[in-house]
Amino acid sequence: MFGIAYLKTTPTTYVLHYKSGKVKRAGQGLAFWYYAPSSMVVSVPMASADVPFVFNEITKDFQELTVQGQLTFRVVDPKKLAGLLDFSIDRAGKYRSDDPTKLEDRLVHATQVLASGVIGRLALREALGSTEALVTEILAGLRNVDAVAMLGIEPLALSILSIRPTPEMSRALEAEARERLSREADESIYARRNAAVTQERIIKESELNTELAVEAKKREIRERKMEADIAVENQRATLIKQQVDNAKQDADSRAYALAAQLAPLEKADWKTLMAIAPNGGDPKMMIALAFRELAENASKIGELNMSPDLLSKLISK
């Protein structure tokens, strides 16, 4: 009524009341009456705000990526911001220009410029896995860039929700990843089979070593038994040799004794021996010796007659 208006703001809104080109009042959360025809009210929100963004960038290997995220900021110097952009409002509390929306665009553009510099140094695979590094470098750049500092803006946080390649490249990467996973699965299967074969070989070698040890022990037992048999045979051969030596010595002693007994008779006349023999008086022996003597002196005998009766008696029992 009559051009008088009432304005009540929240504690997170900084208000500048200009009258006749001069600041009449300024502060956060003000409530006042003012004369609209001669006044200009500037309302700068100081609460933290989230600005979503989506933009495309090119990697070092000329692959297109879509970066989606969100920037959180707040106004720390509303007077500086109000001096660069038009935040004036009408009596209904609506902004008179679209400068407040341009603020978000400027922040998104600054974010995109920094992201382009970071992604342009990375290859596709590196960029897809560099979310944390991308957030750190872009946020640090926003806090140091002059275009943001001169607006009186403080970036609070930056979130990268997704980094996606083109659908064709995504399918290619997925196919490559599937192939790699398939190869890894095959390698795992081969490794498991190889481990099973290795274990089987170890078991077989252990069994063969056990059999070899058993055979070696059996051979050792046979060798020791053979050594014992050889020792017994050697002792038996020694015994037999000793027996032969003893028998030879016994025979030699008997032969020596017999030779000693016969030595006196070796040069004696057989007639004398027959005379002293125990059976020397046997008539048959005497007749035999007579015939022997006749035979020895046959050249000296002219004629010898023996009757059949004499021969029959000699040969009779």
Per-block mean pLDDT, blocks of 10 residues, the chain (317 long)? 79 88 86 83 90 91 90 91 86 86 89 90 86 90 87 90 87 81 85 89 90 90 89 88 87 81 66 60 66 69 67 63
Judge if 18 and 131 occupy the same domain.
Answer: yes
Last residue within a domain, chosen from 165, 188, 209: 165
Which residue shows structure tokens 């750190």?
136
Is there a domain that residue 80 lies in? yes
Report the chain's terminal Cα–Cα distance, integer Å: 201
pLDDT score recorded for residue 283: 65
CATH number of residue 158's parent domain:
3.30.479.30
Last residue within a domain, chosen from 141, 165, 189: 165
pLDDT score recorded for residue 70: 94
Judge if 159 and 16 occupy the same domain.
Answer: yes
| Domains: count for the chain | 2
pLDDT score recorded for residue 111: 92
pLDDT score recorded for residue 282: 63
Indicate the burial class of 280 (C-beta count within 10 angstroms; 0-12, 13-18, 19 or more). Answer: middle
List the structure tokens of 224.
């020791």
pLDDT score recorded for residue 155: 92
Say how far apart CA 68 and CA 49 lie, in whole Å: 17
Last residue within a domain, chosen from 111, 138, 165: 165
Judge if 294 and 149 occupy the same domain.
Answer: no
pLDDT score recorded for residue 39: 84
Domain hosting 129: range is: 4-165
